[in-house]
Amino acid sequence: MTKWRKSSYTGTGNDDVCVEVADLGERIGVRDSKDPEGPRLGFSSEDFGGLLARIRRGELNLD
């Protein structure tokens, strides 16, 4: 069974957007917690790490 975990930045309100991630072996899965059966993204560990680094540096507009 895949274990999904929420971001530590997740709020407690019903309108909060929350991203969940899961270790899928050779891939990292990403999904919307409000739609757990909906579309999912898959990244290699390297690509996911690069994405997180770009977010932390403020290189992506996430609004």
- Does 62 fall in a domain? no
pLDDT at residue 38, as a whole number: 94
- Does 46 fall in a domain? yes
Query: Nearest to residue 19, comparing CAs of 46, 59, 43?
Result: 43
pLDDT tens, residue by residue, 28-63: 999 998 899 999 999 999 999 999 899 889 998 766
Number of domains in the chain: 1
pLDDT tens, residue by residue, 2-26: 999 987 766 666 666 688 999 999 9
- Does 63 fall in a domain? no
pLDDT at residue 48, as a whole number: 94
- Does 61 fall in a domain? no
- Does 12 fall in a domain? yes
- Does 16 fall in a domain? yes
- Does 23 fall in a domain? yes
pLDDT at residue 30, as a whole number: 95
CA distance 6 to 60: 20
CA distance 56 to 54: 5
- Does 41 fall in a domain? yes
User: Which residues have CB under 8 Å from 33's CB, separation 6+?
Assistant: 4, 6, 10, 18, 19, 20
Q: Which domain holds residue 21?
A: 5-56
